[in-house]
């Protein structure tokens, strides 16, 4: 077992680098999971998968996110003050809380499964919801240990547990989805039923077609995929539990003996809940955007279809025979969201890694360090978000074909919303680290307020635009983009007021933005050579090379950021010699 206690505390970028490596592995393996899963489940089954996952993420936000972040923040503050016994108490108390919340969350997901599936206009998603319910409990247990180690500025346990989780998910999720599909087909051949249910024909008075049979099996295949996810959370928790039992947290007996008298458990509990509640509410409101899409988009698509069915049949008719057209369209949107979520998933690593360092700077009232840390996290977030978002915007069609090319109708169902989601990804990616900054400085209430504003905007835009037949599903990513753009502006304006620090946002983002434009233009031009998949891969690779060159030519990165990277001192010395570093504040004054 890897000894997690032998790792030194990591600075912001070192911690982010560790999480980045694990995230690359996680997302590559995740792509191996979700892309073939999309081909197994098809658009209809993927809609059930998306619906059940939306409920899971909402319950996860209620039971996990706030407390996990609160643990990290409290442990970071106590560790900075060398209150090591308090750190241990925080972990023990949080585990007890998470056991209770995990049980409650699991039961809530099971008991609300039918109601939720019906309300989201996806009644057949009920089996997937039930099969995924235990994942809430195991995710809660993982979160306690992850939050604890992250507060100690040790991202290794989180990184390894995420890799364990995603590899298990890929193997078991695909296996069970495929086996359930085969099992259902075998049952129909033997009994004329699928898992005990009669198969209805889409054409009244005729025998069920092959498409009808597959459509009847897909809810259970989606449930099989969810069973795989549940098992993956179990294995992720088991790794963290065993790692802690074997390696501990690195505190020595001397550390604990010299630690100040611990705070009473009741006081820790009160602080933990007080810190977690606003973060939890914020996380719930963030997940409300997904819930808003689920409830409003499906129903408004059905409304739009009733208003102008001819338009929908001309656009989607060739791919929806024997299927519910609004479920098919929403499933395609779910596939686009899977690609879109890659961007904020990577940039969230900077938010997670930066929280302990930002908290320490705020606790010590080190204004200079706070300014440097905030600018670093925003700049490094933009380094990922800008080129990725612009790249998705200009390459939506070839990316969709590259990832889902075997599915008919990809350019109709996946690519249009994906193109708009590319731009929305930039704003969402920047919001996540901004929220961590507010949490670090103790303003837990602000993310909730900002997200409520964004949620109202999104719901309004969804209701209006998705209900227009000619816009339909494209209204959802438009709403997402406007929602997070407004939130980002509110965050930046408020951050400047709270910290009383003057930020030069053009200096922070300018060089990265110019390099990202070059990156997007390169990808677009190379892709014009051919529609072959190998050209798409070359376009992405070529754009990446041009982007790195652009970052250097525009001197987008300052010396302080480069030095925080692994082997950063040597790299910074070389870049400084070649005049490739951004000028320091002294040089610009």
Contacts of 59 (CB under 8 A, 6+ apart): 105, 108, 109, 136
- Rounded to whole angstroms, how far apart are CA atoms 169 and 32? 10
The helix (H) or strand (E) run that includes residue 282 is helix 265-292
Query: Where does the pLDDT of residue 5 fall: very low under 50, low under 70, confident under 90, or very high at 90 and above?
Result: very low
From CA 423, how far away is CA 477, in angstroms rounded?
Answer: 9
- DSSP conformation class of 580: -
DSSP secondary structure letters along 302-363: HHHHHH-HHHHHHHHGGG-TTS-HHHHHHHHHHHHHHHHTHHHHHHHHHHHHHHHHHHHHHH
Bridge partners (DSSP) of residue 47 are none
Which range (186-195, 256-265, 388-397, 530-539) has the least confidence?
256-265
Spatial contact of 157 and 216, defined as CB atoms under 8 Å apart: no
Report d(CA 139, CA 536) in Å as an integer: 37
pLDDT of residue 561: 65
Q: What is the tens place of the pLDDT at every residue in 474-509? A: 999 999 999 999 999 999 889 888 888 787 778 888
How many other CB atoms are found less than 10 A from the CB of residue 207?
9
Q: What Å distances lie between residue 196 and 45, 181, 422, CA to CA?
A: 19, 14, 43
Q: pLDDT, tens digit, for every residue of 281-340? A: 666 655 666 677 777 888 888 888 888 888 888 888 777 665 678 778 888 888 888 888
Could you read off the pLDDT of 332-368 as tens digits, one per residue?
888 888 888 888 877 776 666 666 667 777 777 777 7
Mean pLDDT, residues 540-559: 88
Q: Vertex 66, ends 62 and 68: CA angle to 5°?
A: 115
CA 113 to centroid of chain Cα atoms: 23
Element (H, E) at 193: strand 193-194
Q: Which of 16, 61, 36, 130 is nearest to 288 (CA)?
A: 61
Strand partners, 558: 582
Taking 80 as the threshold, does the pLDDT of residue 128 lie above it?
A: yes
- 12 or 555, greater pLDDT: 555
pTM of structure:
0.67
List, for residues 192-247, the tens digit of each pLDDT value: 888 888 888 767 767 888 888 888 899 899 999 999 999 999 999 999 999 998 88
Instruction: Note whether 232 and 176 are within 8 A (CB).
Output: no
Helical (H) or strand (E) element with 391 = helix 367-394
């Amino acid at each position: 077992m890897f000894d997690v206690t032998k790792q030194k505390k990591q600075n912001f970028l070192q911690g982010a680098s560790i999480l980045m490596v694990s995230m690359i592995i996680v997302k590559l393996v995740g792509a191996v999971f979700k892309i073939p899963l999309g081909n197994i489940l098809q658009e209809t089954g993927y809609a059930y998968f998306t619906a059940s996952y939306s409920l899971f993420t909402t319950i996860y936000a209620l039971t996990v996110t706030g407390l996990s972040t609160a643990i990290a923040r409290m442990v970071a503050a106590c560790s900075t003050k060398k209150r090591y016994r308090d750190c241990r108490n925080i972990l023990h108390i949080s585990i007890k809380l998470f056991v209770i919340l995990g049980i409650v969350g699991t039961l809530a997901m099971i008991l609300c499964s039918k109601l939720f599936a019906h309300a989201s206009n996806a009644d057949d998603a009920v089996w997937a919801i039930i099969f995924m319910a235990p994942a809430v409990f195991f995710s809660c247990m993982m979160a306690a240990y992850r939050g604890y180690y992250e507060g100690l500025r040790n991202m290794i346990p989180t990184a390894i547990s995420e890799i364990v989780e995603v590899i298990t998910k890929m193997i078991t999720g695909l296996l069970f989805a495929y086996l359930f599909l085969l099992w259902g087909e075998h049952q129909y051949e033997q009994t004329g039923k699928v898992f005990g249910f009669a198969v209805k024909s889409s054409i009244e008075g005729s025998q069920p077609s092959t498409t009808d049979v597959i459509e009847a099996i897909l809810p259970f295949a989606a449930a099989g995929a969810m069973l795989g996810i549940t098992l993956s959370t179990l294995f992720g928790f088991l790794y963290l539990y065993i790692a802690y039992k074997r390696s501990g947290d690195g505190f020595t007996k001397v550390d604990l003996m010299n630690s100040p008298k611990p705070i009473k458990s009741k006081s820790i509990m009160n602080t933990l809940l007080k810190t977690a509640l606003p973060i939890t509410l914020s996380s719930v409101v963030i997940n409300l955007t997904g819930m808003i899409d689920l409830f409003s988009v499906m129903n408004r698509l059905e409304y739009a279809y009733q208003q102008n069915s001819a338009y929908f049949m001309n656009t989607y008719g060739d791919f929806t025979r024997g299927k519910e057209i609004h479920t098919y369209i929403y499933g395609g949107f779910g596939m686009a969201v899977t690609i879109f979520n890659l961007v904020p998933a990577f940039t969230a690593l900077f938010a997670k890694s930066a929280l302990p360092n930002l908290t320490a700077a705020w606790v010590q009232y080190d204004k200079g360090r706070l300014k440097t840390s905030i600018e670093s996290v925003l700049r490094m977030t933009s380094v990922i978000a800008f080129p990725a978002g612009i790249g998705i915007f200009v390459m939506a069609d070839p990316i969709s074909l590259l990832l889902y090319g075997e599915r008919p109708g990809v350019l109709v169902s996946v690519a249009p919303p994906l193109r708009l989601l590319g731009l929305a990804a930039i704003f969402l990616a920047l919001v996540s680290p901004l929220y961590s900054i507010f949490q670090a400085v103790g303003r837990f209430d602000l993310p909730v307020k900002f997200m409520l504003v964004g949620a109202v905007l999104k719901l309004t835009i969804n209701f209006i635009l998705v209900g227009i037949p000619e816009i339909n599903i494209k209204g959802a990513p438009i709403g997402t983009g406007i929602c997070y753009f407004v939130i980002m502006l509110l965050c930046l304006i408020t951050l400047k007021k709270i910290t009383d620090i003057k930020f030069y946002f053009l200096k922070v983002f300018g060089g990265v933005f110019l390099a990202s434009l070059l990156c997007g233009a390169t990808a677009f031009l190379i892709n014009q050579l051919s529609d072959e998949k190998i050209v798409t891969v070359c376009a992405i690779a070529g754009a990446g090379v041009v982007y790195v060159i652009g970052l250097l030519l525009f001197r987008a990165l300052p010396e302080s950021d480069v030095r925080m990277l692994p082997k950063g001192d040597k790299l910074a010395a070389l870049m400084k010699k070649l005049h490739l570093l951004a000028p320091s504040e002294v040089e610009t004054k």
